[in-house]
Amino acid sequence: MNQLDTLKQFTTVVADTGDFRQLAKFQPQDATTNPSLILKAVQKADYAPLLAETLGRHRGEAVDAVMDRLIVRFGSEILSIIPGRVSTEVDARLSFDADATVERARRIVALYRAEGVDVERRVLVKIAATWEGIQAAARLEREGIRTNLTLLFSFAQAVACGRAGVRLISPFVGRIYDWHKKSAGTAWDEAANAGAADPGVRSVRQIYRYYKQAGVKTEVMGASFRNTGQIVALAGCDLLTISPELLAQLAASDAPVVRALSAGAADSGEALPELPGEREADFRYAFNEDAMATDKLAEGIRAFAADARHLEKLLQSA
């Protein structure tokens, strides 16, 4: 079997794309989207009719409402192809407003329900893993709205998400790797920081081990990969969300893939960090102690917010 087929024996493979026309050839279980991926897809000629139809049906509505309708339309098309769940993101500009995040998530879910989608089984609402986002997710989970906490870079974020009872988290492997590589500069040794030694891979393994040891039910989905080596080093993780480009590379390779993570072996490895307290102040202090996480979360929110603004301008000018 190729690497992709072997990986599917250990891990739920998720496609990280808004370009749903690419999905069938990789046969992922789930799919994830975000404003950046939808923006990239909607500018392709193949999706011009879908964009025109959405705008035509909802012209005159507020631009944020039309944007939500568009991303739900993409999500519904994805769900017609895959057997599992789609993750749809709340506007990153709401990342520090728990009440607004809850209301936006409810609207997204209502739009999916209007399309006849079984939202509790098939939709995850993506929310940035800020303190406010985690509190919003806890409220939504109590309502039966399942959440995927994204832009996750630190152990403190993962602990808080587990305590909040979120359904799934998405630690960003590649962006953690990027930060450490940039920080090291000319001292960076690529070979010494590859595979299991990759700082992004190590972060996900640490979170996975803590969740399994502590009996946390939240699913761990590695995300934001830079190469297939990072993916293979996390074989056995609950889920891995992978770009079409890297899915194609895995499908083209017959190199061996060995299970690297399993719940039964989760008690091995280096000692886990001290758990932060449960108060907001405890979370903020523990998170602030991680320079990489604070940098990358802020950067990620800015980038997703910029793409949301770009998508809104595109909708207004179409």
The pair of structure tokens assigned to 2 is 């190729």
Residue 241 near residue 37, CB atoms below 8 Å: no
Helix (H) or strand (E) holding 113: helix 98-114
Strand partners, 223: 172
Residue 136 neighbours by CB distance under 10 Å: 29
Is residue 118 left, alpha or beta, with left meaning phi > 0 and alpha meaning psi from -120 to 50?
beta
Catalytic residue among 25, 40, 44, 126: 126
- Please state, in angstroms and as integers, the Cα–Cα distance from residue 301 to each residue in 53, 63, 133, 294, 295, following that order: 29, 20, 12, 11, 10
Whether 40 is catalytic is no
Q: Are 64 and 91 in contact (CB under 8 A)?
A: yes
Of the candidates 252, 196, 245, 261, the residue with the CA atom closest to the CA atom of residue 5: 252
Pairing of strands 12-16, 239-242: parallel
- Alpha carbon 102 to its chain centroid, in Å, reads 18
Structure token pair of residue 9: 């024996």
* Distance (Å, whole) CA 199 – CA 175: 10
How far does Cα 21 stand from its chain's mean position?
A: 20
The answer to whether 179 touches 167, Cβ cutoff 8 Å, is no
Tell the burial category of 144 from Cβ atoms under 10 Å away from its Cβ (0-12, 13-18, 19+): exposed
Cite the active site residues. 126
